[in-house]
Amino acid sequence: MGWNRKVLRVNLTAGTCTPEPLNMAWANDYLGSRGLASKYLVSEIDPKVDPLSPDNKMIMATGPLTGTMASTGGRYTVVTKGALTNAIACSNSGGFFGAEMKFAGWDMIIFEGRSPKPVYLYVENDKAELRDAAHLWGKTCWQTEETIKASHQDPLIRVSSIGGAGENQVLFACIVNDLHRAAGRSGVGAVMGSKNLKAVAIRGTKGVSGIKDFPAFLAAANAGKKVLADNAVTGQGLPKYGTQVLMNVINEMGALPTRNHRDVQFEEAGKISAEAMHEKRPTDGKPHLVTNAACFGCTIACGRISKIDETHFSVKNSPQYWGASGGLEYEAAWALGAANGVGDLEALQYANLLCNEHGMDPISFGATVGAAMELYDLGILSREQIGVDAKFGSAEALCQLVEMTAKGEGFGKELGLGSARLCAKYGRPELSMSVKGQEFPAYDSRGIQGMGLAYATSNRGACHLRGYTVASEVLGIPVKTDPLVTDGKPELVKAFQDATGVFDSAGICIFTSFAWTLADVQPQLQAACEGDWSMDKLNAVGERIWNMERQFNLAAGLSAKDDDLPPRLKTEPAKSGPAKGLVNGLDKMKPEYYKVRGWTPDGVPEKATLERLGL
Amino acid sequence: MQKSLHIDPAKCTGCLQCEMACSYEHTGTINPSKSRIKVFDFEHEGRKVPYTCTQCADAWCMNACPVDAIVVDAATGAKVVREATCVGCKVCTIACPFGTVNYMADVGKVQKCDLCGGDPECAKACPTAAITYVDADWTGLDRMRAWAAKANTAAVAA
């Protein structure tokens, strides 16, 4: 129970859709969504496979709490070998698509092979079929949703699709659902594009009936909701300010990476902050922010819905962007803004809209622009090569480059490779602010030491959502630790990484963990799912998932040397703020972390560790 | 005292907890497609609007029903479909100006909001109080209070 016990296997090469029973032994060991889909992936593909070849597979998966009253229970994940990272990828998205998959009666959909021509998958409850997508190829994510709903004459269909970025194999292309929610990172959209799969459209009217003990589940879900409502972050901060509540906080801490991590504080952070989104604009007297919004089942509602300034240079002749739409969230505002030194809020929203529309990860895109701007600043790239005057702080350059990248035009093609390949191509690989090929998110690890270790050891490349020690080091959740020291961070990082695996695999949003610990999730899982879901078991599930992902990456050819940070963060001290003079102490933390994990000094899980976890 | 569902779209975040609660109460499954309250997302304006039966005093659906399958619940004032009597002719779905009576193909009957017998699950499930269950004579009370507060501010300022 909790699961539908049904998997849809779609062979794109043969054009077949086949139902099969969910492997319940695996569900018992890996829970669902991220963990369970990863187990399927590592069992079915060669770790050394080219991510963009037909031999890679891509899995869309829900968790046992997806499609239920558990707060935030609308998440789904896309699991594959990442195009950007050549490592295991799991990108998580909210919106309404995941719940719809569950309501149609499926736990996950496995895509394999490559379709000879563009297709989309249409699922209506038990019925699943591949349909011709010739008329959709070349369309944006927004147009694709609209066209599919119109052609099926069903406005209640939920759609997940790729835009031009995924079609053109931009290596940080994402998969967009419900207009502005995305499985964002690691290039899962490029994998989908390589399979000639344009979209997945689902209508589910069967609902979720498989809850083990409904009254107990409702009581547990309600108790969880109360904890979220009573918490200052999830009950007040996130609904009012969104994740953008962090912009000024992180800037004051001296941990806001600025101009490709040259600086750790951005002098214009206030202009792109949550507070700025609430202020009335001088041009039209309206605030940028229209309202907050929730994903399926979410009682936090951190989502931002904004209206861009119609008189802004980026959109004054483009009324199609004047309506209310998603953004800005903290990560996008940082990557499109501080990372490039751009302090023009409306320009950031324009770039964000294009990322949503064409299906690109704004973090990797923005950070890649930051790297290109540094190459330009150093005279390594010329104006002729880039096609625009790409100086740090140029909103005009940002707005031009986002369109060029999404459409694969000119220098945009090179930006679409991501910063690691771009910087390597021009002989300065050390200027790519990335780990395992994936760009950093919005926290500088010189000012928040634990994040350096979390980034370096993340199984999907640099990422804040694999071990968000910011919660502890900045916000004091669940306990306050000193962000400027390395002591205790290996244990902290491991604890966050393992717990996150359970949140992700349950089908709920990691933002609940601002208020919830696993002890708040456990009663909900116990009531929803058959079997024993004690705290001990959940802790083991989290650690098992982490080690399984690690094993895959090692087999794929990654090693301890890939658990590293760019030299800038280890040798160039922070120039200002509370962390002034500090570099990241990764080299001190990493050996200790391997020990805490039960891994050899080379970062390989010990036999005893694997046996303990049943791997 | 008769009570009424009171909906304030400005407070709705679109989380669909109301749709889940409604469907669970009436079908025993979590199934928004069977919900008798629907949240509409006007995405280009950034507005979400929950909508359900207003329980008309002189109900169009009830007057239109040829077999008297729609009756008044004396305790709540809700217009309730007697499923055993309903023949699935769908005339009520045409009569209702608001579209809040709907035909369910799988059971061959119509369904509409019945106020859950006086304890509406949607209102209880709403995390932002966008849906409340209040004195039917005073559904405007909150708005009156807001305007009164404005008037009071002006008076204090003067």
pLDDT surpasses 90 at A280: yes
Residues of B with a Cβ under 8 Å from any A Cβ are 13-17, 20-21, 23-24, 27-34, 43-48, 125, 127-128
Candidates A125, A208, A236, A328, partner chain B, best to mutate (most B CBs within 10 A): A208
Candidates A100, A181, A305, A321, partner chain B, best to mutate (most B CBs within 10 A): A305
A295/B28 Cβ within 8 A? no
Query: Per DSSP, what are the bridge partners of residue A291?
Result: A305
Distance separating alpha carbons of residues A90 and A75, to the nearest angstrom: 12
Listed residue (A135, A130, A102) closest to A11, CA to CA? A130
Q: Which of B21, B30, B45 sits opposite A207 (nearest CB)?
A: B30
Evaluated on CA atoms A225, A231, A232, A238, the torsion sign reads: negative
Confidence grade of residue A416 (pLDDT, cut at 50, 70, 90)? very high
- From the CA of A214, how many Å to the nearest CA of chain B? 9
Confidence grade of residue B157 (pLDDT, cut at 50, 70, 90)? low
Residues of A in contact with B15 (CB under 8 A): 294-299, 301
Tell me what pLDDT residue A1 has.
64
Do A354 and A403 touch, CB atoms closer than 8 A?
yes
Query: What radius of gyration do chain B's Cα atoms show?
Result: 18
Listed residue (A25, A60, A24) closest to A41, CA to CA? A60
Looking at residue A109, what DSSP letter applies?
E
Distance separating alpha carbons of residues A413 and A207, to the nearest angstrom: 43
- Closest chain B CA to residue A292: B13
Query: Per DSSP, what are the bridge partners of residue A305?
Result: A291, A326
Tell me what pLDDT residue A274 has.
97
Candidates A1, A3, A69, partner chain B, best to mutate (most B CBs within 10 A): A69
Contacts of A275 (CB under 8 A, 6+ apart): A241, A248
- Closest chain A CA to residue B45: A324
Do A465 and A451 touch, CB atoms closer than 8 A?
no
- From the CA of A526, how many Å to the nearest CA of chain B? 18
Do A305 and A292 touch, CB atoms closer than 8 A?
yes
Tell me what pLDDT residue B152 has.
82
What residue has token string 């990335």?
A434
3-state secondary structure (DSSP) of residue A198? strand
Do B15 and B129 touch, CB atoms closer than 8 A?
no
Do A314 and A348 touch, CB atoms closer than 8 A?
no
The two tokens of residue B5 are 């569902």
Q: pLDDT tens-digit profile of A217-270? A: 999 999 999 999 999 999 999 999 999 999 999 999 999 999 999 999 999 999
Distance separating alpha carbons of residues A514 and A477, to the nearest angstrom: 7
Confidence grade of residue B151 (pLDDT, cut at 50, 70, 90)? confident
Do A572 and A583 touch, CB atoms closer than 8 A?
yes
Do B112 and B79 touch, CB atoms closer than 8 A?
yes
- From the CA of A189, how many Å to the nearest CA of chain B? 24
- From the CA of B58, how many Å to the nearest CA of chain A? 32
Sheet holding A197-203, edge to edge: A127-132, A119-124, A197-203, A158-161, A175-177, A181-183
Residues of A in contact with B32 (CB under 8 A): 99, 103, 207
A294/B20 Cβ within 8 A? no
Q: pLDDT tens-digit profile of A458-475? A: 999 999 999 999 999 999
B33/A205 Cβ within 8 A? yes
Confidence grade of residue B156 (pLDDT, cut at 50, 70, 90)? low
pLDDT surpasses 70 at A441: yes
Q: Which of B15, B23, B47 sits opposite A297 (nearest CB)?
A: B15
E strand spans, A383-521? 434-435, 438-439
Tell me what pLDDT residue A481 has.
97
Residues of A with a Cβ under 8 Å from any B Cβ are 67-69, 96, 99, 103, 156, 179, 204-209, 211, 214, 225, 229, 239, 290-299, 301, 305-307, 323-325
- Closest chain B CA to residue A222: B125
Evaluated on CA atoms A262, A266, A272, A275, the torsion sign reads: positive
Percent of chain A with pLDDT over 90: 99
Distance separating alpha carbons of residues A293 and B42, to the nearest angstrom: 12
Does the global pTM surpass 0.90? Answer: yes
Could you tell me how many residues make up chain B? 158
| Mean pLDDT, range A25-49, rounded to an integer | 98
A68/B43 Cβ within 8 A? no
Distance separating alpha carbons of residues B122 and B101, to the nearest angstrom: 17
Distance separating alpha carbons of residues A107 and A99, to the nearest angstrom: 10
Please give the interface size between A and B, counted as residue pairs whose CB atoms are below 8 Å apart.
Answer: 82
Half-sphere exposure (CA, 13 Å, Cβ side) for A114?
13
- From the CA of A142, how many Å to the nearest CA of chain B? 12
Measured in whole angstroms, how far is the alpha carbon of residue B28 from the centre of its chain?
19
A324/B15 Cβ within 8 A? no
Do A126 and A109 touch, CB atoms closer than 8 A?
no
Residues of A in contact with B16 (CB under 8 A): 96, 296-297
Task: Return contacts of B37-43, CB within 8 angstroms, 24+ apart.
Answer: B37/B113, B37/B122, B37/B131, B39/B12, B39/B14, B41/B14, B43/A179, B43/A323, B43/A324, B43/A325
Q: Which of A96, A208, A292 sits opposite B30 (nearest CB)?
A: A208
pLDDT surpasses 60 at B158: no
Distance separating alpha carbons of residues A394 and A373, to the nearest angstrom: 9
pLDDT surpasses 60 at A136: yes
| Mean pLDDT, range A531-542, rounded to an integer | 97
pLDDT surpasses 60 at B134: yes
Measured in degrees and rounded to the nearest 5, phi and psi for residue A204 equal: -125, 125
Buried b (16+ CB within 10 A) or exposed e, A160-180: bbbbbbbbbbbbbbbbbbbbb
The two tokens of residue A492 are 């902290």
- From the CA of B45, how many Å to the nearest CA of chain A? 5
- From the CA of B101, how many Å to the nearest CA of chain A? 18
| Mean pLDDT, range A36-41, rounded to an integer | 98
Q: Which of A179, A208, A229 sits opposite B29 (nearest CB)?
A: A208
Residues of B in contact with A295 (CB under 8 A): 15
Respond yes or no on whether the N-terminal peptide bond of residue A328 is cis (omega within 30° of 0): yes
Residues of B in contact with A179 (CB under 8 A): 43
ipTM for the complex shown: 0.95
3-state secondary structure (DSSP) of residue A175? strand
- Relative orientation angle of helices A518-528 and A489-506, to the nearest 10 degrees: 30
A209/B46 Cβ within 8 A? no
- Closest chain A CA to residue B46: A324
Query: What radius of gyration do chain A's Cα atoms show?
Result: 22
For A290, other C-beta atoms within 10 Å of its C-beta total: 18
Q: Are strands A6-11 and A108-112 parallel, antiparallel or unpaired?
A: parallel
- From the CA of A103, how many Å to the nearest CA of chain B? 7
Distance separating alpha carbons of residues A342 and A373, to the nearest angstrom: 11
B23/A296 Cβ within 8 A? no
Q: pLDDT tens-digit profile of A219-232? A: 999 999 999 999 99
| Mean pLDDT, range A360-389, rounded to an integer | 98
Distance separating alpha carbons of residues A505 and A63, to the nearest angstrom: 6
The two tokens of residue A484 are 């400027």
Q: Are strands B3-7 and B131-135 parallel, antiparallel or unpaired?
A: antiparallel
The helix (H) or strand (E) run that includes residue B81 is strand B79-81
| Mean pLDDT, range B44-51, rounded to an integer | 95
pLDDT surpasses 80 at A505: yes
Q: Are strands A325-326 and A197-203 parallel, antiparallel or unpaired?
A: unpaired
Confidence grade of residue B153 (pLDDT, cut at 50, 70, 90)? confident
